[in-house]
Amino acid sequence: MGKWLLAGGGALTVSYFALGREGPIDEWVAVENVRELPVGKFEARLVTVTAHGSWFNKKVERTIWLCRNADDTVTVLSGICPHLNYTINNWQQDLGIFKCPGHKSAFDSKGKVLDGPSPRPMDPLEHQITDGVLVVRYQKFKKNIPVREVYT
């Protein structure tokens, strides 16, 4: 009986890594017209991107943080904490900080680490404005390392 349980557990582990594990993400996504973003205030947006797995690709939603600046440039930060990939879903406007729910890393409005275990700042995302529309290059980055490195 124990051998069957061990074999079943091993098969589940192999299945997870072969089939269910999320792979690299590197995709340009149109977000919205820049004029629709309020000036000087961070807002979260969900983008749908494709995670490229070993066997299957799947659509996933990811959070990004946007702030339209007074000069109509835009600050775009990934909503994934660089520590352990928790979703940063808490912008505290009154304090001017992002707070990760996982291990309580705190970041300023530029993404700089203020507190907690995150080994690097929030990841800025490459972006461009085309015909007034914000287009963001969403990339998945390796977690818990001090330098930003694309997950491949």
HSE-CB at 141 with a 13 A cutoff on CA atoms is 27
| Per-residue model confidence as pLDDT tens digits over 5-57 | 444 455 444 444 455 578 999 999 999 999 999 999 999 999 999 999 888 99
**What is the distance of C-alpha 148 from the center of its chain?**
12
| Per-residue model confidence as pLDDT tens digits over 78-118 | 999 999 999 999 999 999 999 999 999 999 999 999 999 99
Of the given ranges (9-13, 123-127, 141-145, 146-150), which has the lowest mean pLDDT?
Answer: 9-13
What pLDDT score was predicted for residue 1? 61
Write down all domains in the chain, each with its CATH number in brackets: 22-139 (2.102.10.10)
What pLDDT score was predicted for residue 54? 82
pTM for the predicted model, two decimal places: 0.87
Positive or negative CA dihedral for 83, 87, 93, 95?
negative
Instruction: Give the strands of the sheet with 127-130, arranged side by side.
Output: 26-33, 133-139, 127-130
Residue with tokens 């979260």: 44
Phi and psi torsions of 27, nearest 5°: -150, 140
